[in-house]
Chain A
Amino acid sequence: MNPRQAHPGMDIWVRFIAGEGEGTEERESLASHLESCSRCTKDTEFLQNLQRARRVPKWVAPPTELSSAARRRPQGATLPPAPTQPRNVRWAPADVRGGVSTASASRMVSRMFPQAELGIVAIPPEASGEWRIEGRVWLREADARAIQVLLVHDDHVIASTEVFDGGYFELEDVVGSGWSLELHLPTGETLRLEDPDA
């Protein structure tokens, strides 16, 4: 390396990363320089990242009509953020005597809270791989506002629905282990039921 190449230029490193000059003295000199030069190590890491990007399979653009539809913001109610202090509710084995569920692994919740009373059944996936969660929520004090019911996994809201006082809801969706069901009451309180199998 001559003095002007105290820090070889980007073009030299491009050829180096591409494996050019295998076995030559120049390449050995570059490799030796690289071992002790953090600046050039950054250069080569940057170039290796470029090479890495090439490994990603060719991306395909969606059909124009799909793209146009997706780029229009969906309409619908804005959902509440993740609750900071949800009240966790425990499931119990389903009571099959009432004919609520025949699935042996189903879980149910039937409890009263100061704000609401719940009657909810969670039926685990069979062949379709979908959980089915259904039930009713009764508010202790009449309120015309809706209760938002969310099926959540990490920061994904898998499904959501609204139900009014005493109304029936049903959610059915594919969701991984560790999901939770959130009931956002009009009062602002959130009741949360976690995946009974997790």
Chain B
Amino acid sequence: MSGASQPLRDSTGTLRSPRPTTNRQVSNRATPPVCSQCPSALPVPLTRPKRLPSTEELSDQKLLGQCADGDERSWTLLVARYENLVYSEALKVGLNEEDAGDVFQQVWLELHRSLPRIRNATGLPRWLIVATRRLSYKVAARGRRMVPSITREMVDPASLPDEELQDVETRMRLEQALDELGGSCAELLRMLFLQPKKQSYEDISDRTGLAIGSIGPTRSRCLLRLRKILEAIS
């Protein structure tokens, strides 16, 4: 199909976050900001980095090892990969933005302290969630905050639901693979699979410039590429 080779429209910088009064914005890795001026709340097009290092270069295992050896850049990459997860988890358990910010900072200090003894790099998302939940409880308890959703059991790592954790890990791997995939393919798949609300083909066509009839074949090709990357990550 002719539309299959048609490049996706590059609309970088055409839209702005709907909340200009705050410097907090919706993650550009998990879910793009929503455009308040668009007719059906379409996500803002993403600005992709020029090129990210390969998945192998960026594996948690390698990053943790290099961080333990004192490498600045690896630390920065590691925090960049997981900062949205940590901050969102602190908000999700019920903390306000200020307390979530405190917890956010403490989690990274704890990770830094713990670097020499983290043996299971594949469990890093779990490690971070466990630390975030415990520190959220601590901040709430010390500040005598009455947050009904924050309970003492959050201090116990075993209280973390496995299913929730698996979903997060799946999402993390997917984000990592999409970063590596990059370009128009990643943008299309984010629209198709990572938006909380399903996007119609008409919306996707409007956003990407793809003919409606070529969305399916393009999606198939992109999915195959994504799967290869995911298999490499796993």
A interface with B by C-beta (< 8 Å): 9-11, 14, 46-47, 49-67, 69-74, 76, 78-82, 127-130, 152-158, 160, 173-177
Contact B137 A174 (CB under 8 A): yes
Give the CA-CA distance A64 to B25 in the complex, in Å. 9
Q: Is B50 an interface residue (CB 8 A)?
A: no
Bound Cα distance A169, B165 (Å): 37
**Contact flag A66-B101 (CB < 8 Å), given A129-B141, A174-B155, A176-B156:** yes
Residues 142-162 (chain B) with a chain A CB within 8 angstroms: 142, 152, 155-157
Chain B residues with CB under 8 A of A158: 110, 134
Q: How far is the CA of A168 from the CA of B166 in the complex (A)?
A: 44
Evaluate whether A62 and B101 lie within 8 angstroms (CB atoms) in the complex, with A73-B72, A79-B116, A155-B117 already known: yes
Cα distance, A88 to B104, chains bound together (Å):
34
5 A-B contacts, Cβ less than 8 Å apart? Answer: A58-B196, A61-B26, A66-B104, A130-B138, A155-B114
Stretch from B5-13, B52-60, B168-176, B204-212 contacting the other chain:
B168-176
Residues of A within 8 A of B117 (CB): 81-82, 152, 155, 157
Residues of chain B in range 85-99 having any CB-CB distance to chain A below 8 Å:
85-88, 91-92, 97
B34 to chain A, nearest CB (A): 10
The answer to whether B25 and A61 have CB atoms under 8 Å apart is yes
Is B233 in contact with chain A by the CB < 8 A criterion?
Answer: no
Q: How far is the CB of B231 from chain A (nearest CB, A)?
A: 9
Give Cα A55–Cα B196 distance, bound, in whole angstroms.
8
Contacts of A69 in B (CB 8 A): 105
Q: State how many angstroms separate the Cβ of B129 from the closest Cβ of chain A.
A: 12
B48 at the interface (CB under 8 A from A): no
| Known pairs A10-B224, A156-B110; A60 contacts B91 (CB<8 A) | yes
CA distance A175 to B110 in the complex (A): 13
> Which of A9, A50, A53, A70 has the most B CB atoms < 10 Å from its CB?
A70
**Interchain nearest-CB distance for A190 vs B (Å):** 12
Q: Enumerate chain A residues within 8 angstroms of B31, measured Cβ to Cβ.
A: 58-59
A102 to B157, CA, bound (A): 30
Interchain CB contact under 8 A, A46 and B230: yes
Q: State whether B141 touches A82 (Cβ < 8 A).
A: no
Name B138's contact: one of A59, A154, A174 (CB within 8 Å). Answer: A174
| Separation of A2 and B118 alpha carbons in the complex (Å) | 53
Q: Does B83 contact A (CB under 8 A)?
A: yes
Q: Is the CB of A52 within 8 A of B167?
A: yes
CA distance A187 to B70 in the complex (A): 24
Q: Does B62 contact A (CB under 8 A)?
A: no
Bound complex: CA A152 to CA B89 (Å): 22
Instruction: Tell me which of B83, B115, B193 contacts A50 (CB under 8 A).
Output: B193
B9 to chain A, nearest CB (A): 22
A128-B142 contact in complex given A52-B170, A66-B104, A78-B70, C-beta closer than 8 Å: yes
B131 at the interface (CB under 8 A from A): yes
B51 within 8 A of A: no
The answer to the question of B15 belonging to the interface, with a C-beta cut-off of 8 Å to chain A, is no
Residues of B within 8 A of A50 (CB): 174, 189, 193
Beyond contacts A71-B83, A73-B67: 17 other A-B pairs, Cβ-Cβ < 8 A, are A10-B220, A46-B227, A51-B193, A53-B167, A61-B24, A61-B87, A62-B83, A67-B79, A71-B79, A73-B72, A76-B113, A78-B68, A78-B70, A79-B116, A154-B157, A160-B113, A177-B156
Q: How far is the CB of B123 from chain A (nearest CB, A)?
A: 9
Contacts of B167 in A (CB 8 A): 52-53, 55-56
Asked whether A60 lies within 8 Å of B79 as measured between CB atoms, the reply is no
In angstroms, how far is the closest chain B Cβ from the Cβ of A195?
12
Interface pairs A-B: 9 shortest CB-CB: A59-B30, A62-B87, A81-B116, A174-B138, A157-B113, A10-B220, A59-B27, A73-B75, A59-B84
A14-B83 contact in complex given A59-B27, A66-B105, A176-B157, C-beta closer than 8 Å: no
